[in-house]
Chain A
């Protein structure tokens, strides 16, 4: 079975500061890992994903994440926060190699302070 934990349900950073959102997973098979962003009353938008290959993955809006197998982590970072980054962020692991069933983490709400 797969599971995802996100440390910190709410993270606040100042505009221009580093953003770090933590994600740890457990998976019985090689994981496919994803980060999604959700703005209020909207669906999910894919930020980035790791499937195979390079462990440092770059996504949209300046975000990137690094897959660390030894730490079972896939933390999301952005060097400089922007006000528009304020949203809910979900880390997800795909549950199996052939289907598309995702297991989502509980989410982290990012607030960006002026």
Chain B
């Protein structure tokens, strides 16, 4: 089946640093990738949707300058948390979908736990 790889799975860093999270579709072309954030014991909240080669569409309330998303190829999207602070600590999950407008089934990565000290 389709596989989405997310790296790193866990990262701990100091406040003020920037952290990059990668999301790769291993065996299909992901025309659309989604980035979610999940707080402890809560549901997933969509942060942004990115289509290959175009700018990401951010959900209301998500700072685009804080959470930089790049989807430069059909198999890779990155989320960079810039100048991270403790309140950015969370579980980040990506998903990827192929097909026109990303209308094929969505496959999720295993998530990245980000801890900011």
* B interface with A by C-beta (< 8 Å): 4, 6, 9-10, 32, 34, 41-46, 49, 91, 93, 95, 97, 101-103, 105-106, 108-111, 113
Q: How many A residues have CB within 8 A of the partner chain? A: 18
Question: How distant is the Cα of A36 from the Cα of B36 in the complex, in angstroms?
Answer: 14
* A interface with B by C-beta (< 8 Å): 36, 41-46, 90, 98-102, 104-107, 109
Apart from A43-B95, A99-B103, A100-B49: 4 A-B pairs, beta carbons within 8 A: A43-B108, A100-B102, A100-B106, A104-B44
Beta-carbon contact of B43 and A44 below 8 Å: no
Beta-carbon contact of A102 and B106 below 8 Å: yes
Beta-carbon contact of B43 and A105 below 8 Å: yes
What are the residues of chain A within 8 A of B6 when measuring CB–CB? 43
What are the residues of chain B within 8 A of A44 when measuring CB–CB? 44, 93, 95, 108
Q: Which of B41, B43, B109, B113 contacts A104 (CB 8 A)?
A: B43
